[in-house]
Amino acid sequence: MPGSAGHFIMFYIIIFIFGTVFGSFFNVCISRIPRNISVVFPDSSCPSCKANIKPYHNIPIISYILLKGKCAYCGAKINIHYFLVELLTPILLLLLFISLDAQFSIVFFKYAIFISFGLIIFFIDLYHYIIPDKLTLPLILIGLLFSLLPNTDVSWMSASIGALSGFLLFLLTAVIFQKTLRKDSLGGGDIKLIAAIGAFLGIWGILFTVLFSSLIALTVLLILKHDRKEPFPFGPFLIIGALVYILAGNSLIELYLRLFNIY
């Protein structure tokens, strides 16, 4: 019906606008959390000339385009991730909303929180090779709490098993590599992140995320011909795997089973 279509369009616009605003805040988190600086104070400033950024220079997406990716005062280049996060946040939230049949359910808010934390973790690990406990530990707790709510998609049992099995799997992998190869394969941040993913997605989500993220990471390593002696952030690939599962996991698993005539 036209009225229903109009409501859906309004919801899409609201999600996109709020998504860009949240994305702008996530950029503050990405910049400040690794430096242990408050994400609330002081006001945002240019990393190069230290000039405070005016509100009209801080409009999500639009300001980056109008300023051509440069500081309005000193002309220093603004990292592309500021634009990407402000764009990816609303897009991912819209895809989540659509994948859940355009409903503001408990499941929507659950995964909206995961997407928020996930984007911050993705870029922090990508740039700094760390995954802060102040992000992963609350994420584990939030995932487990959501599993206790009615009308959720992952039971408390599945969330608990997912978190514990993910944690133990990565911990065991890290210990084996350390003992046999005398080198670190997975950091503590990766171990806690997979536990958080397990708390949100449950046991099946863990299996999908580990397999999918490992395949993508291996492909990237081969394409880039990455030196094994150099650090390589695995957290971003775990986030990608988890997001793929959230947005299309069931469809991909069903397609896989049909292709191989498993049922």
Which residues are registered as beta bridge partners of 45?
52
Among 41, 75, 104, the domain-final residue is 104
Separation of alpha carbons 126 and 135, rounded Å: 15
The domain tally of the chain equals 2
Q: Are residues 195 and 129 in the same domain?
A: yes
Q: Are residues 93 and 110 in the same domain?
A: no
pLDDT for the residue numbered 182: 64
Q: How many other CB atoms are found less than 10 A from the CB of residue 105?
A: 14
In contact, 113 and 199? CB cutoff 8 Å: no
Assigned token pair, 86: 């402000």
Rounded to two decimals, what is the model's pTM? 0.92
Separation of alpha carbons 200 and 236, rounded Å: 17
pLDDT for the residue numbered 2: 44
Separation of alpha carbons 227 and 211, rounded Å: 22
Q: Are residues 66 and 171 in the same domain?
A: no
Among 81, 104, 127, the domain-final residue is 104
pLDDT for the residue numbered 262: 58
Q: Are residues 48 and 69 in the same domain?
A: yes
Q: Are residues 25 and 48 in the same domain?
A: yes
Q: Are residues 97 and 215 in the same domain?
A: no
Separation of alpha carbons 175 and 185, rounded Å: 9
In contact, 236 and 125? CB cutoff 8 Å: yes
Total count of residues recorded for the chain: 263
Q: Are residues 16 and 138 in the same domain?
A: no
Among 72, 104, 136, the domain-final residue is 104
Which range marks the domain in which residue 57 is found?
A: 1-104
pLDDT per residue, tens digit, the chain (263 aa), is 344 677 778 899 999 999 999 999 999 999 999 999 998 887 888 888 888 888 888 899 999 999 999 998 998 999 999 999 999 999 999 999 999 988 899 999 999 999 999 999 999 999 999 999 999 999 999 999 999 999 999 999 999 999 999 999 999 988 887 777 666 667 889 999 999 999 999 999 999 999 999 999 999 999 988 777 788 899 999 999 999 999 998 888 777 777 776 55
pLDDT for the residue numbered 261: 67
Separation of alpha carbons 189 and 95, rounded Å: 27
Q: Are residues 178 and 258 in the same domain?
A: yes
Phi, psi of 72 (to 5 degrees): -70, -20
Sign of CA dihedral 187, 189, 190, 194: positive
Assigned token pair, 77: 């280049």
Q: Are residues 148 and 263 in the same domain?
A: yes
In contact, 81 and 24? CB cutoff 8 Å: no
pLDDT for the residue numbered 1: 39
Can you tell me whether residue 67 is helix, strand or coil? coil
Helices (H) and strands (E) in the chain, counts: 8, 0
Assigned token pair, 152: 């959720």
Sole residue written with tokens 């440069």: 70
Q: Are residues 63 and 131 in the same domain?
A: no
Separation of alpha carbons 39 and 27, rounded Å: 10
Q: Are residues 113 and 221 in the same domain?
A: yes
Q: Are residues 19 and 135 in the same domain?
A: no
Q: How many other CB atoms are found less than 10 A from the CB of residue 257?
A: 11
Sole residue written with tokens 């991730």: 81
Could you give the angle at which helices 188-224 and 235-259 cross, rounded to 10 degrees? 70
